[in-house]
Structure 1
């Protein structure tokens, strides 16, 4: 059998059981695409094999297939993504009415507070940014639409986790590794649960340098047409410009007004979920 076993991870790690419908080669192909990053946009075959856990032979087949399909380019034995990979996410984004409705309010909020604003949704253990406005670079890592960050360490995540039923919140806490990002990151699941429940009671979250040193952020949940939380709006600011107390005093009333107006639009448009609006 040609190539039997070549696609298996080299480290022999056991994978979670999959249904008989699962197409492992598709998962492997996506893992090759996800191996690239802004920090390392060009990778060698050995780099890809190491990052995906594939053998060099298997990684080569996937890379050359992606080259033929136009998603990857190769030059002097170094591979890089081509713009065509944007097609993989464009269909979802083009259906997403939520960012379209949110952008005017994010823009106005950004102008009023002179800081970066954004919208995110919860996806598994992470928040995913679906809209972002602001010229100032708040985080050293640089966040764009589509960026993912751990929910536990972000104000976006704190309000979105607060919207989960208790059993789902407990499952999240039990199944998520809480990695320390800064000296202030909450990594004790008991303490994190208390903070999330406090956020649920208060209706907003303010995190001071838990994700990155020098970044303070404020977030509020956004409810769709049924009243269920479907996203969150956030202001991210340099801690040197805004103490937590000042950000709460100045930005919270502006954010509250913006979210209320956005929720009115979502009700009128019938948007019930981030990706499948009923229009």
Structure 2
């Protein structure tokens, strides 16, 4: 169900709340064709970089005729290209996410701080935000060592299995955290992944008390990561940064010893963001 996001403007909220629905919970102003067009874009990923009309119809659940119309429209708009009856996204789709990242300002401010962190620790560092139960990587600086995990800007990972996700979840208001636990399954990514809600609550309590999160091989075999929140002027955790390595390079205790450096980088980022109007809301 798509719900309208509330605004800080009470007049807009009244307008949203008063709009009639069609019985599905959606506003009568809801544009289903736009929803389906975006669904077409989302079917493409690393495992499915190019697809036929039939394949897209099967994945999306739409009819072949509808898929064909949407693909032709997206092709004319420059978001999709076709070769040998196989469709694929074009680089123009990057503009959809770039507009958001440009307004966020966090990646630009965090990048030089994370670069210094990587130089000082010889490990990879990333920054992410929380979105619908996942973390979304918005900035990344690779370390000198090759890691098996493939992470690019824009990639999503389940928040419960990542250090950055836990750093953000631990700082949610209680009601928001309980809503997250009601609506998102703690799926076992690996045998070590915490999947019991009570155990997960206890882990987040520990994260709040210690000021950082540590995940030891819960997302990928051999991957160890530490993370801390990045807060706005009101003290709200708006993003998180991490350091990640392979257990063969640094032990869990070695990574714990680097927490102060990550916290220092987060404080430096917070100082830079305090001057950003995009971080003030």
TM-score tier, shorter chain, comes to: 0.7 to 0.9
Distance 1:35 1:177, change over 3 A: same
SS of the counterpart of 1:212?
Answer: coil
Of 143, 149, 153, the residue aligned with 1:145 is 153
Of 253, 256, 271, the residue aligned with 1:264 is 271
Q: Which residue of 2 aligns with 1:254?
A: 261
* Whole-Å separation in 2 of the counterparts to 1:53 and 1:201: 46
* Whole-Å separation in 2 of the counterparts to 1:87 and 1:264: 28
Of 12, 20, 29, the residue aligned with 2:28 is 20
Structure 1 outlier segments of 4+, above 6 Å: none
1:145-179 deviation digits (Å, cap 9, x = unpaired): 11111111100100100110111101100110221
SS of the counterpart of 2:219?
Answer: coil
Counterpart check, 1:40 vs 2:48 = yes
* Whole-Å separation in 2 of the counterparts to 1:196 and 1:238: 23
* Whole-Å separation in 2 of the counterparts to 1:106 and 1:16: 45
SS of the counterpart of 1:197?
Answer: helix
The TM-score normalised by the length of structure 1 is: 0.88
* Whole-Å separation in 2 of the counterparts to 1:19 and 1:152: 32
Displacement of 1:39 in angstroms is 2.3
Distance 1:139 1:26, change over 3 A: farther
Higher relative contact order (CA 8 A, sep 6+): 1
The more displaced of 17-26 and 190-199 is 17-26
Q: Which residue of 2 aligns with 1:161?
A: 169
CA contact (8 A) 2:105 2:276 kept: no
Displacement of 1:253 in angstroms is 2.0
Q: CA RMSD in A?
A: 1.7
Q: Which runs of 5+ in 1 are unaligned?
A: 1-14
* Equivalent runs, 1:86-235 vs 2, <5 Å: 86-135=94-143, 136-140=145-149, 142-235=150-243
Of 60, 66, 79, the residue aligned with 1:71 is 79
Displacement of 1:96 in angstroms is 2.1
CA contact (8 A) 2:226 2:243 kept: yes
Q: Which residue of 2 aligns with 1:277?
A: 279
Q: Which residue of 2 aligns with 1:4?
A: none
The TM-score normalised by the length of structure 2 is: 0.87
Aligned residue pairs: how many? 258
CA contact (8 A) 2:162 2:218 kept: yes
Displacement of 1:221 in angstroms is 0.6
Q: Which runs of 5+ in 2 are unaligned?
A: 1-22
* Whole-Å separation in 2 of the counterparts to 1:204 and 1:277: 22
1:203-251 deviation digits (Å, cap 9, x = unpaired): 10000011111111100011112222111011111111111111112x2
Displacement of 1:265 in angstroms is 2.2
CA contact (8 A) 1:138 1:236 kept: no
Displacement of 1:137 in angstroms is 4.3
CA contact (8 A) 1:225 1:270 kept: no
